[in-house]
Structure formats: C-alpha cells, structure tokens
Amino acid sequence: MTEMVNNPAHYNAGDIECIDAIKAALTPEEFAGFCKGNALKYIWRAGKKGDAIQDFKKSSWYIAKLI
C-alpha cells in the first residue's frame, strides 16, 4: 500500500521529493509560511475530498516540519 501521508509516490521525481526541492528554493521564513499554509489547507478541507483522518495526519505532517 502506498504511504499517502509521509511519502506519497506522486510527490517524488527520481530521488528528489517535492518538499525537499521546495525547501531548497525558499528562505526559512518562506518555507515556514508554506508549511503553515498547507497545514491550514488540510484542516480546512478535511473530509471533503475523502478520508478526514488522512487530511488531519497530513496537516500534522506539515506542522511537524514547522517544529
């Protein structure tokens, strides 16, 4: 089964994960804002596109990046 929260296959291009490329391209402040915005997005839409628990886990994943 594909890991849809911590390492979804569709976020990888070869050996590079999308989040790592984004972090490398942004300043620390910009990256923090990106993570905060995505955490809010997943909470906002929780359950509207499928599994609410998965959305909350993904929000938590972004919050962990902030911490």
Domain count, the chain: 1
48 domain residue, yes or no: yes
- Residue at 42 is within a domain: yes
Residues near 23 by Cβ (< 8 Å), separated by ≥ 6? 31
d(CA 25, CA 39): 19
Residue 56 lies in a domain: yes
Give residue 25's pLDDT: 97
15-66 pLDDT tens trace: 788 899 999 999 999 999 999 999 999 999 999 989 999 999 999 999 999 9
